[in-house]
Amino acid sequence: MLRYLRVLLAVVVSGLLAAPVALAADGGGPVVLTVTGNIAKPNRGPVDAFEDAVFAHLEVKFDKAFTFTLAELQSLPQRSVTVRYEGWPREVTATGPEIGDVLKAAGAEGAKILVQAFDGYAPEFTGDDIARGKLILALAADGKPLSFGGRGPLWLLGPPDSFAGQEGEDSLAFAVIRIDVQ
């Protein structure tokens, strides 16, 4: 069983490394986040089933979107949160932009915000949840950049009282690739 999982992991990682990297509209680096839905200033067109293989696999469809590179997310105001959820071995201090600032930069507004991870997991939030300003899109934890294969490169994180009805860490997401605003 362990051998099977190692082979599967090797295939997935090699496929990701061999896949073409989507670049930001200005060619300034690989895209790490795509904001879809109700956006006022898109910088890319619709999903392309070949180029956007993960979105196609997850059956994500959109006509327009706003994309961010890691550098663009780093250029937004950064905020740190220190949290420890049940079952964690220690407290973690994570840094990144507030989700509200990310949405504002994309010209996105809506009452329903879905934050989707690479594996398809997608917790849903209200505009009021986001307006509370407690959720960040972490780019680093404990001073180290988040990596793919860990919790990164983008980790939706906030303290235990970040939004109404929060059920611990399970209400959040790591390996975030998309935010959909309706």
pLDDT digits (tens, 9 = 90+) for 158-168: 988 888 778 88
pLDDT digits (tens, 9 = 90+) for 60-95: 999 999 999 999 999 999 999 999 999 999 999 999
Q: Does the pLDDT at position 6 exceed 80?
A: no
* 10 or 182, which is more confident: 182
Query: Is it true that the peptide bond before 89 is cis, omega within 30 degrees of 0?
Result: no
In 3D, which of 115, 148, 89 has the Cα closest to residue 36?
115
In 3D, which of 30, 5, 27, 6 has the Cα closest to residue 17?
30
Task: Please state the pTM of the whole predicted model.
Answer: 0.84
Domain 2-181 of CATH type 3.30.70.1450: no
Q: Does the pLDDT at position 181 exceed 50?
A: yes
Q: Does the pLDDT at position 170 exceed 90?
A: no
- pLDDT-derived band at 3 (thresholds 50, 70, 90) equals very low
**pLDDT of amino acid 161:** 83
